[in-house]
Amino acid sequence: MTRPAPAIVVLGNGSLATAQKIQQVYPGALIHGLAGRVEGADRTYQEFGATVRELYLQDTPIIALCAAGIVIRTLAPLLLEKGVEPPVLAVAEDGSAVVPLLGGLGGVNVLAREIAAALDVAAAITTSGELRFGTCLLNPPSGYALGDLELGKRFVSDLLAGETVRIEGAAPWLAQAQLKENPQARLAVHVDHVEREAVANELLIYPRRVLVAVNASVVNLPGAIRDALHREKIAVQSVACLLAADSEMASPALRDAALELGVPLRFADDVGALAELARDAVGQPAALLGDEAIAIAVAEQPLDPLSIGRARGRLAVIGLGPGAAELMVPAVKAELARANDILGYETYVRMAGPFRTDQVMHCTDNREEMQRARHAFELAAQGRSVVVVSSGDPGVFAMAAAVLEALHESDDASWHNVDLEILPGVSASLATAAQAGAPLGHDFCVLSLSDNLKPWDIIEKRLDLAAQADLALAFYNPISRSRPWQLGRALEIVARHRTPQTPVVLGRDVGRPGQTLRVITLGQLTPDQVDMRTMVLIGSSTTCVFPRVEGGKWVYTPRWYQTKPAG
Ligand code: SAH
């Protein structure tokens, strides 16, 4: 399987040259630089520890250009709990040392050698098996699975003690390992897809040569698959992927079965019988076993799941939050990292990036929402992982509703089969409110003042009723060049129900460079203080203001309520 591109983490400008050399080895890798200290990084971060820990938890290979000790201390709290982990390396700022730290089974030594070669130094490999055999026996290449890690470790230490070994079955990569082969050896590496009790002194390696084609309707699918494999004496570890017909793409039972068995799930055109589906998909000579509900194809060579049928496409509509990276939810960051295609208004796509060279950006005009939504489904229906970007929250005057509308209007089954998810973000009203204190601390009403998509008289009516109901008000899209008079009219309506002393918060570019926050009163508010990058919050009759010691004001609307005659 392909390894995700590493993150190159840099603390100062001094290591940028080394970072760039490493980036040439991994063109998809991004350089993450400490904000304010590193110029010319692809991404900036505020806090080294939090950033490195997050990358680690997301399984991103980490190349940190700093002292090994810093990396060790940073990741120490996470190390006890983790089983599988990404490669982690420390590289000296000047490129004079490459130290693999973690992720032996994730190929850290391979990375270390690649980086060391690019920097023209020797990698500080400390793994004995690796040093002796030139490869990690416990980390077979894709297409093969290790039977049992704990037994494997014992096996390797026996080999290190000088024992000879028998190799049974085809293990082409082992040819490069400098193993002392001997047909009479006590130790054996056994490479086969057949189910087998682990015998003492044996390292079992399973070639992933088996494809299992299934119907979603089978009761207890994972159990049934295991039983079917067992009947045919095939090891579960040899399964390369599950395959089902396109028509069953959205089946949760299939998704759960693949998850439980830990194998990819692929789909192919419905051709009737499962055996045929399996045979067509394998694309090489294969023995066909199983029955009508679960067909098993055993190919001669390991199978690459990515070349079999197609994946279920995914479409995530995400919210970036107001702009600052710290206010982006981790699920959104992970989604951006796995995306093949990113769609959205250019400003937001740029804000979400930068992206790797293998990721495709589709920037469009802000007004082409429905077209963008349909384009997203077309891409996702091909099996791609697609992200549609909104600022703030995607469900607040943004892309989520357009995407759902496009789906609702469509009777294309391939669109409805897409794995669609909406991932929330911090909306501008909430980000602005948080900076000012808690102006939306009690009931409030969110309105867009744009009459591009709704008639102005509806807006007037809603404003009038919301103001009358003494709700605090949050105005999105308050004004624009093509809508110059609407805000003034809106303020007249609000003024019918609120005193001129009512607190008002104006947040402009909140969470972005050059942000401003102003606390004024309704009496002072005029439309020329507001533009389309501004969030307008208007207090209710109970909203209070008091000075902060560091300057400025706190604004809040208390949780309690005293009925006052509205008027
Ligand atoms: N989905 C977005 C809103 C899109 S409507 C969200 O949930 O925040 C666009 C309007 O949102 C802008 O006209 C402005 O009123 C407001 N807005 C968006 N981002 C903002 C920011 N960073 N600072 C202030 N207002 C913002």
Each residue of 360-371: pLDDT tens digit? 999 887 778 999
Q: Which fold is adopted by the domain 314-426?
A: Cobalt-precorrin-4 Transmethylase; domain 1 (3.40.1010)
**Lining residues, ligand 1, CB within 6 Å:** 322-323, 390-393, 396-398, 427-428, 432, 476-478, 507-512, 532-535
Mean pLDDT, the chain, integer: 92
- Predicted pLDDT of residue 116: 95
- Predicted pLDDT of residue 2: 54
Q: Which tens digit of pLDDT belongs to each residue from 256-277?
A: 999 999 999 999 998 888 989 9
Taking the domain 429-556, which CATH number applies?
3.30.950.10
Q: Which tens digit of pLDDT belongs to each residue from 293-311?
A: 899 999 999 999 999 999 9
* Cα 341 to middle of ligand 1, angstroms: 24
* Cα 442 to middle of ligand 1, angstroms: 21
* Cα 476 to middle of ligand 1, angstroms: 6
Q: Which tens digit of pLDDT belongs to each residue from 65-96?
A: 999 999 999 999 888 765 678 999 999 999 99
Q: How far apart are CA 489 and CA 512, in angstroms?
A: 29
Q: In what order do the strands lie in the sheet with 165-168?
A: 144-146, 202-207, 187-191, 165-168
Least confidently predicted of 25-29, 80-84, 120-124, 165-169: 80-84
Taking the domain 211-307, which CATH number applies?
3.30.420.180
To test the pocket of ligand 1, the residue of 483, 529, 534 to mutate (highest count of ligand atoms within 8 Å of its CB) is: 534
Residue keyed to tokens 């789909």? 267
Q: Which protein residue has the closest C-alpha to ligand 1 atom 2?
A: 392
Q: Which protein residue has the closest C-alpha to ligand 1 atom 11?
A: 476
- pTM comes to 0.79
At 1, is the pLDDT very low, low, confident or very high (cuts 50, 70, 90)?
very low
pLDDT at 128 over 90: no
Domain boundaries, the chain: 7-126, 144-207, 211-307, 314-426, 429-556
Closest by alpha carbon to 141, among 175, 188, 168, 98? Answer: 175
* Cα 120 to middle of ligand 1, angstroms: 50
Least confidently predicted of 44-58, 65-79, 156-170, 415-429: 156-170
For domain 7-126, which CATH number applies: 3.40.50.2300, 3.40.50.11220, 3.40.50.300, 3.40.30.10? 3.40.50.11220
Q: Which tens digit of pLDDT belongs to each residue from 246-255?
A: 999 999 999 9
Q: How far apart are CA 171 and CA 144, in angstroms?
A: 9
Q: Which protein residue has the closest C-alpha to ligand 1 atom 20?
A: 428
147 neighbors 206 (Cβ within 8 angstroms): yes
* Cα 448 to middle of ligand 1, angstroms: 10
pLDDT at 564 over 60: no
Q: What DSSP element (H or E) covers 104?
A: none
